[in-house]
Structure 1
Amino acid sequence: MDYLKSVVPSQIVSERGSNLVIINPGSANVRIGLAKQDTPFNVPHCIARRNTQTGKPNVLDQMLNTQVTTNQHVERERAYNTAASLLKIPFLDEGSSFGSSSRKMARIDGYNQPSIITKKDTVFTWTNVYEDDPTSPAASDTSADKAEASETRAATDFKDTGESKRKYREMIFGEEAMKISSKEPYCVHRPIRRGHFNVSPHYSAQQVSEDMVAIWDWVLLEKLNIVHNERNKYSAVLVVPGTFDSREIKEMLTIVLRDLRFNSAVVHQEGLSAIFGNGLSTACIVNMGAQTSTVVCIEDGVSMPNTEKVLPFGGEDICRCLLWIQRHNQNWPQIRTDVLAKPIDMLMLNQLKESYCDIKEGDLETVATVNSYEDGMSAVPHKTNLTSLNVPPMGLFYPNLLVPEVFPQPPRTWFQDHENMLEETWNMDYAGGGGNMGQLVWDSFAVSPFKPKKEEKIGLAEAITSSILSAGRIELQRKLFSSIQLVGGVGLTKGLVSAVEERVLHAIPPTEAIDTVEVLPSRMDPTFISWKGGAILGILDFGREAWINRKEWMQNGIHVGSGRKYRDSYYIQAQAMCFISS
């Protein structure tokens, strides 16, 4: 403790953060970096594998998506009109009052002018899917199985370009994977979808795990320059979303310790990490990611499990709502925009959302450039008038606006919490065929000692209110209502802070003696707060009592009563809090 009082904080970060890797996986992106870094590398959490079969889709999830029903369309239009009345804009089928909004539209254009046509748009190129040198020595750093498989495919790997024969890249990662033309023989895989492992009849649990290993290993090699034979000198902190269950967290520990070869690892929940990322001790953490949102209350650095809420929507749903509104208003150009089949379209919509969406009253319109990405061709810009830009983010409060993709649930057996993670469980069948796909997977989650987390069909304001009111004492409730923290990429939405304060205040029952709601300002980019908190926890955790050693994990796994379960990390933050307060 004397050392901690005398040492300079930057010295602790430098000494203890140079061999500590923080991994924060999400549905859309994975954030990985050394604890000593200010911000991590933020990489799209996807991998494109080369197709050897004809007829396979270019995005694996295309095989699962279902169409929006008529009832969902009706509910969406009703939700739009509810939001429109609050924002004081015309209803969906009343049209837009262009004359009255021209002045406001000009002001918005002027404010956002630098982001309308960017250099990134003008120099867009499709990903080069060929290896520069098929005889590169780097190809030797593969397993025997991969080498044997590559020999059998050698005859089909090469393409005659007229000058030389080039070989297709077997795997492509990150943003490059999202910019592959659909005419190329590749299929994009996303190992995490809607806050869970993306297990399906078309995507086995083993393949999900292998893809995750490949993506993380690529980031460690290409971005952090941590080679395989040096990994035993590093430890890892897994900062996991609150949506994950015990089985998924244990599988991630196996990936980190067995496959990525880290010396030791510990797990922290995103909500807990966010507290330390912003230098707080008590707060209501609202984590809004790309595909899911979670709410949890933290008191004095300790999570309150009974306050957890999981909402099945996020930033990507706002993007698709933006596209739906523009098409309904006939503002979208006559181009083929498909966010499911063409990942590059989701990147474009996300850029439009971040640049122009704002929660404020009145008609909100702007002129922006929309790009058309056709197979193998250069991006074609289309200038168009985008309207009702304040409605899509209101879907956070009226989730019927955000009609999500519908995916079958993972197999029921996948969620069994086996204590011995070395058991062979990859080849489990889908119990009962397709009959169980429509049931809630949580209904059979009887093995886990914790109460399962169910997704709730409520808006963000109701979720925050319900979470805080579950905290118990009125003094604590008042403190939490005045200490709301927005984290995740959606937290950057303009106008969201005041909207949350207003909507939560209206959602509090009149019988409650609470009249103040406040969202605390963030000390850094909300996207990276949880990652930064994981770095702080890892650096200040001197005792490492809840850390799991690679050898111990490989030999023993986790046993009942061993005192080494990952959930011990729920309480380890109390030790770090002591150091911060001293």
Structure 2
Amino acid sequence: MGGNKKPDKPVQKEQGLERTDNGLPLTSWPEPSIINQKNYYTEYIKRDDQILPLRLIQEERRARLTTQHRERDRARNLDTNIADAEEIDDEAEEDAIGGQQDQEFSSGDDVIIIHPGSQNLRVGFASDILPKTVPMVIARQWRCNEHEERNGIVVPSRVTDKDGTEVKPRHMFGDQFASHYDKLCSALKTQMRQNKRKVLPNSKELVVNFNDRVSPETINEHNDPHRVDWVELPNDPKQAPAFICGEAVFRIPDESKPRYKLFWPLRYGVYNEDDYDSKHQLFEDFTTIIEQALLNELGIKKRSAFKNYGCIFVVPDLHDRAYITQCMDMIMRELNFDRLILIQESLAATIGSGNSGGCYVDIGAQKTSVCCVEDGICIPDSRVNVKIGGADVTEMFIKMMLFDHFPYRDINLMRRYDFLLAEELKHKFCTMKEDEISVQLYTFHLRAPYQTTKKYQFKTYDEVFLATQGLINPTIFDKSRKMRGRRKLIDPSMDLSDDFRNDPVSEAQSLIVTSLLPGNNTDINSNAANSTSGTHAATNGLDGNFSQKRQLPAKHAFNLVKSAEPNLAVRDSPAIEGDGTPIPAASGEESTPEGLAPCLRDDVLPIVGLDAAILTSILGAVKQDEKKFRDYLKAIAVVGGGIKTPGLDLAVELALLKWRPGADIRIIPPSKEIDPQVVVWKGASVQARVKTTNEYWISQDEWDRLGSRVLHHKCMWSW
């Protein structure tokens, strides 16, 4: 007890423990009173002047108002026309109340539109009628060209076996391809007979026998009016350019000294991580292609002049955040543009086609995107992105022609002049019109560097039709190389607060991904066809592409993505192909159970036909509203290079009618006055000249201060 006794006051004073009170507060900071929890209010982030992007807009408006007042006062002091002074005063008052009635459109001379794609880049001033189109590729000095590096194995140049023996055309692509091709030919014959079309019993034999006997005709250079001027390189390799951009890359001889290799920064609508070993080199090539296109095609003399222009950058509807932020960083810091606006492809297509909304299908070279637009807004849950396009048609057409003894058997799409030849043959001869299927005789010219021109004759039959049918039945397309190397260099965007993927998601895209999982019974076609009408009259699939499966509500299918087995999602390599075939994980690779739904976006290859993509997109937009479903079916617009295939609109309409018999389906044709390939670019150029888009401009100062956070306030869609 004695040990717990407090010391008396003298002892406390001696030990320095005596309490003293001099009346001074412990701190000079004001002490806030306790908040009454029953009634309190705050204005934090509730006023526009507390948000930097909105405050800058107000400051710019006030600065413009001040300038107009000064001009009014100057006009009055100089005794100029009173009417002019009153006009200036009226404009100032209109701006004071937030109006901008002086002019609805601007000229667009100081705005550049950039629309990058997997195969082509389109750039131009907003005041231009049409954009400049350049290939989205760069040729760099390399140890070997792309054909030598891959040994010609990729499509389709294997004419000899490993032991040197000649491979017969029928076995050039394996027995599985031969069996599948024979089934397609037989099904087409049956379909043509049902449609009362004349079918010759020996049409295929006529084509094969003729092509097998053809020998090329040699044409001297002075008799060839369309001879190619190949790129001449200096004799000294050290004086050769480090890189070449534009159309000239396809005119570089494959055997050039030094060697050049073609690099494509974008493939299948995303960054091409497979062909690059460095993320820095990938971004540098992407920037260089755009920079050289601006300098060479638009007449801008110096890179430093970019600061005098604004830029409107067209982005995919369903995109990666990492792609958007990198593109913005390139435009604002690398190219140093003065200001920037982002616009989605479907919204730009809506404006370019002059419609207020509808279901827009953009068929590109390597991807097809579908999105429903209503009142100038892209409906988020309707966004669909499938990895098929015109390049798949080109590859399949050449394969089928080689199968039928194409006389130029050494064709290889990895060679530059062969790639241009294949594209030319596809554009000239491929069709989706059934009444054009017959034995036809055509010619083409092979122009290779350091060789005389050769003229070939060849015959076609059903190849021109079956190759394009892959857009409806994509099971015939090769899926072995698509999305290879995904996430090898660039990590997905992660949320800073909860460390989860924050890339945009779409219910329609998730429904497609779910339907492709092994063991899933979801048929997205039957689901889209029956969900709004309530009927369960399922069909047997389209040309064998889909089998009859049970109906699954869209919401349930969307939730299945989150509950799928974790071992199906493997980072860095596609775990599942579009036909539902799982690829086993390599040893040492780990599955990613957390955040599985976003990971499946990288691991499941989304490949379905155009009819399935359109129906699923509309289903995601309308939910269970039957009236809206019918309205979108009557407003389907197809843009992009794929629509140039003859008969594609009718083929898509017939495919949709198989799932919605008797429905009023209308494919809106593009305007005859504009190329469907540039509809998206044209829409962005119109948007650039509308004054109401001023609030979406992102300035250099905003990007330096806030970075990608500014998109929450300056984006045309929900970021």
Partner residue in 2 for 1:140: none
Helix, strand or coil at the partner of 2:395: helix
1:180 to 244, 248, 252: 252
User: How many Å separate the matches in 2 of 1:371 and 1:405?
Assistant: 31
Helix, strand or coil at the partner of 2:231: coil
Q: 1:558 to 1:38 in 2, by over 3 A?
A: same
**How far is the alpha carbon of 1:129 from its aligned partner?**
3.2
Counterpart AA for 2:230: W
- Residue deviations 1:299-328, cap 9 Å, x none? 121111211222211111111111111111
Q: TM-score, normalised by structure 1?
A: 0.75
Tell me if structure 2 keeps the 8 A contact 1:231–1:263.
Answer: yes
Counterpart AA for 1:439: A
Deviates more, 1:291-300 or 1:24-33: 291-300
Q: 1:565 to 1:417 in 2, by over 3 A?
A: farther
Matched ranges for 1:117-156 at <5 A: 122-130=226-234
Partner residue in 2 for 1:505: 657
User: How many Å separate the matches in 1 of 2:592 and 2:154?
Assistant: 23
Matched, 1:191 2:338: no
Counterpart AA for 1:466: T
Partner residue in 2 for 1:488: 640
**How far is the alpha carbon of 1:382 from its aligned partner?**
1.3
Q: 1:438 to 1:418 in 2, by over 3 A?
A: closer
User: How many Å separate the matches in 1 of 2:314 and 2:615?
Assistant: 25
Matched, 1:208 2:282: yes
Matched, 1:239 2:319: no
**How far is the alpha carbon of 1:494 from its aligned partner?**
0.8
**How far is the alpha carbon of 1:64 from its aligned partner?**
10
Q: 1:412 to 1:128 in 2, by over 3 A?
A: closer
Matched, 1:399 2:474: yes
Helix, strand or coil at the partner of 1:283: strand
Helix, strand or coil at the partner of 1:544: helix
Matched, 1:569 2:645: no
Partner residue in 2 for 1:150: none
Partner residue in 2 for 1:384: 458
Deviates more, 1:72-81 or 1:122-131: 72-81
User: How many Å separate the matches in 2 of 1:90 and 1:435?
Assistant: 51
Partner residue in 1 for 2:138: 47
Tell me if structure 1 keeps the 8 A contact 2:439–2:459.
Answer: yes
1:529 to 670, 679, 682: 679
**How far is the alpha carbon of 1:270 from its aligned partner?**
0.8
**How far is the alpha carbon of 1:329 from its aligned partner?**
1.4
**How far is the alpha carbon of 1:120 from its aligned partner?**
9.3
1:515 to 639, 643, 663: 663
- Residue deviations 1:457-507, cap 9 Å, x none? 321112112221332222211111011101100111111111111111112
**How far is the alpha carbon of 1:518 from its aligned partner?**
0.3
**How far is the alpha carbon of 1:22 from its aligned partner?**
0.5
Matched, 1:248 2:323: yes
1:19 to 94, 110, 115: 110
Counterpart AA for 1:276: I
1:439 to 575, 599, 604: 575
Matched ranges for 1:353-364 at <5 A: 353-362=426-435, 363-364=437-438
**How far is the alpha carbon of 1:543 from its aligned partner?**
4.6
1:410 to 486, 499, 509: 486
Deviates more, 1:358-367 or 1:514-523: 358-367
Helix, strand or coil at the partner of 1:199: coil
- Residue deviations 1:546-572, cap 9 Å, x none? 33222332343123xx55467x22279
- Residue deviations 1:226-259, cap 9 Å, x none? 2222211101111123353111111111111111
User: How many Å separate the matches in 2 of 1:248 and 1:80?
Assistant: 42
Tell me if structure 2 keeps the 8 A contact 1:396–1:460.
Answer: yes
User: How many Å separate the matches in 2 of 1:457 and 1:540?
Assistant: 37
- Residue deviations 1:120-142, cap 9 Å, x none? 972223222349xxxxxxxxxxx
2:404 to 329, 350, 372: 329
Deviates more, 1:62-71 or 1:302-311: 62-71
User: How many Å separate the matches in 2 of 1:445 and 1:174?
Assistant: 43
Matched, 1:306 2:381: yes
**How far is the alpha carbon of 1:220 from its aligned partner?**
0.7
User: How many Å separate the matches in 1 of 2:640 and 2:150?
Assistant: 24
**How far is the alpha carbon of 1:27 from its aligned partner?**
0.4
User: How many Å separate the matches in 1 of 2:688 and 2:134?
Assistant: 22
**How far is the alpha carbon of 1:278 from its aligned partner?**
0.4
User: How many Å separate the matches in 2 of 1:447 and 1:76?
Assistant: 37
Tell me if structure 1 keeps the 8 A contact 2:712–2:718.
Answer: no
User: How many Å separate the matches in 2 of 1:532 and 1:519?
Assistant: 20
Unmatched runs of 5 consecutive residues or more in structure 1:
103-118, 132-155, 159-166, 421-433, 573-582
Q: TM-score, normalised by structure 2?
A: 0.62
- Residue deviations 1:276-309, cap 9 Å, x none? 0001112111110001111111112111121122
User: How many Å separate the matches in 2 of 1:183 and 1:557?
Assistant: 45
User: How many Å separate the matches in 2 of 1:369 and 1:280?
Assistant: 41
Higher relative contact order (CA 8 A, sep 6+): 1
Partner residue in 1 for 2:630: 478
- Residue deviations 1:95-149, cap 9 Å, x none? 52759xx9xxxxxxxxxxxxxxxx9972223222349xxxxxxxxxxxxxxxxxx
User: How many Å separate the matches in 2 of 1:414 and 1:347?
Assistant: 31
Counterpart AA for 2:232: N
CA RMSD of aligned residues (A): 3.6
Counterpart AA for 1:467: S
User: How many Å separate the matches in 2 of 1:172 and 1:368?
Assistant: 34
Tell me if structure 2 keeps the 8 A contact 1:76–1:400.
Answer: no
**How far is the alpha carbon of 1:213 from its aligned partner?**
1.0
**How far is the alpha carbon of 1:444 from its aligned partner?**
8.1
Helix, strand or coil at the partner of 1:534: helix
Tell me if structure 2 keeps the 8 A contact 1:124–1:379.
Answer: no
Partner residue in 1 for 2:354: 279
**How far is the alpha carbon of 1:373 from its aligned partner?**
4.3
Q: 1:193 to 1:79 in 2, by over 3 A?
A: farther
Partner residue in 1 for 2:204: 96
Counterpart AA for 2:415: K
User: How many Å separate the matches in 2 of 1:571 and 1:541?
Assistant: 21
Partner residue in 2 for 1:157: 237
Partner residue in 1 for 2:370: 295
User: How many Å separate the matches in 1 of 2:434 and 2:152?
Assistant: 40
Matched, 1:348 2:421: yes
User: How many Å separate the matches in 2 of 1:365 and 1:229?
Assistant: 57
User: How many Å separate the matches in 2 of 1:544 and 1:262?
Assistant: 16
Q: 1:501 to 1:128 in 2, by over 3 A?
A: same
Helix, strand or coil at the partner of 1:239: strand
Tell me if structure 1 keeps the 8 A contact 2:278–2:489.
Answer: no
Tell me if structure 1 keeps the 8 A contact 2:140–2:261.
Answer: yes
Counterpart AA for 1:286: V
Tell me if structure 2 keeps the 8 A contact 1:31–1:40.
Answer: yes
**How far is the alpha carbon of 1:390 from its aligned partner?**
2.0
Helix, strand or coil at the partner of 2:381: strand
Q: 1:531 to 1:571 in 2, by over 3 A?
A: farther
User: How many Å separate the matches in 1 of 2:712 and 2:335?
Assistant: 21
Tell me if structure 2 keeps the 8 A contact 1:485–1:520.
Answer: yes
Counterpart AA for 2:136: H
Partner residue in 1 for 2:708: 558
Q: 1:315 to 1:23 in 2, by over 3 A?
A: same
- Residue deviations 1:15-46, cap 9 Å, x none? 43101111110000011111111110111110
Q: 1:461 to 1:121 in 2, by over 3 A?
A: farther
User: How many Å separate the matches in 1 of 2:102 and 2:696?
Assistant: 26
User: How many Å separate the matches in 2 of 1:175 and 1:43?
Assistant: 7
Matched ranges for 1:163-174 at <5 A: 167-174=239-246
1:546 to 696, 703, 713: 696
